[in-house]
Amino acid sequence: MTTRHRRTALMLAAAVPLAAVTAAAALRASHLKLYADRHRIELMPQPRRSCPDCRGAGGWWVGDANPEMEACGCWSDRRTLRIPLRPARRVEPWPDEPPF
């Protein structure tokens, strides 16, 4: 391995953690939560601590006998970004013909 290759490998090794820290800071600053599994990647809005209405709780209870949670607009009015990764498995219809 030459000096040039070592330098490139070190720069690549430093770039991955730097990109992860930058992505985490961007998510925190934009009040988004990242969720990922093998089917999708989702960016979901989170309540803001500085919100004067809910103060980071995300909503409040309304109603007396059967209270329901009313969502605050600081997160419920923002859209969720969903990127599908793996299409859902298509189920074949049951065959109409007899097996024999």
Binding positions for Zn ion, rule: CB under 5 A: 51, 53-54, 72, 74
Cβ proximity to Zn ion: between 31 and 74 the closer is 74
Smallest gap from residue 34 Cβ to Zn ion (A) = 20
Cβ proximity to Zn ion: between 28 and 40 the closer is 28
| Burial zone of 16 (CB within 10 Å; 0-12 exposed, 13-18 middle, 19+ buried) | exposed
Helices (H), the chain: 3-29, 73-76
Cβ proximity to Zn ion: between 45 and 74 the closer is 74
Task: Tell me the C-alpha distance between 63 and 65, whole Å.
Answer: 6
Smallest gap from residue 53 Cβ to Zn ion (A) = 5
Q: Residue 60 pairs with which residues in a beta bridge?
A: 70
Smallest gap from residue 75 Cβ to Zn ion (A) = 7
